[in-house]
Amino acid sequence: MCLPFRRAFYEELSQGATSSGALAARADSPTLLFAPVGVERAETHFIWLIRLGVLRREVDGQGLTERVRLTPLGRSVISRWPGEIPRAGLRQRIRENLMRHRPRL
């Protein structure tokens, strides 16, 4: 599995929502991320995880917000690992990245 964030990030999302800006600005980001990200990169990861069904946008009285939450499917995916989510190998990450950005290749 090529999830872009550490288990602590998904556990935090199971308790509440966060935005890409808030994630990029956090001082404790190494505990949540495998690699540092900016706002745009975090948003790109969020959109990909929303397409997979792991995350969803939070809704308020005005409609969708920039904040995301963990879905029931996301909870079930994360529960497969008792500890830290294993990092995919380089070959699998390259393949998944190509499929994410160039799905018709």
Q: What is the pLDDT of residues 20-72, one digit of tens each?
A: 999 988 888 888 888 888 899 899 889 989 988 999 998 888 877 889 999 99
Taking the domains of the chain in order of start, what are their residue ranges? 7-101
Q: Is 18 helix (H, G, I), strand (E, B) or coil?
A: strand
Tokens of 82: 């008792």
Q: What is the pLDDT of residues 70-100, one digit of tens each?
A: 999 999 988 888 888 777 778 877 877 777 7
Cβ–Cβ < 8 Å for 22, 51: no
**Which element (helix H / strand E) includes 67?**
strand 63-70
Tokens of 16: 């509440």
pLDDT for 1: 54
* Amino acid sitting at position 13: L
Of the options 1.10.1760, 1.10.10, 2.40.30, 1.20.58, the CATH number for the domain spanning 7-101: 1.10.10
Which residues lie closer than 8 Å to 11 by C-beta, 6 or more apart? 78
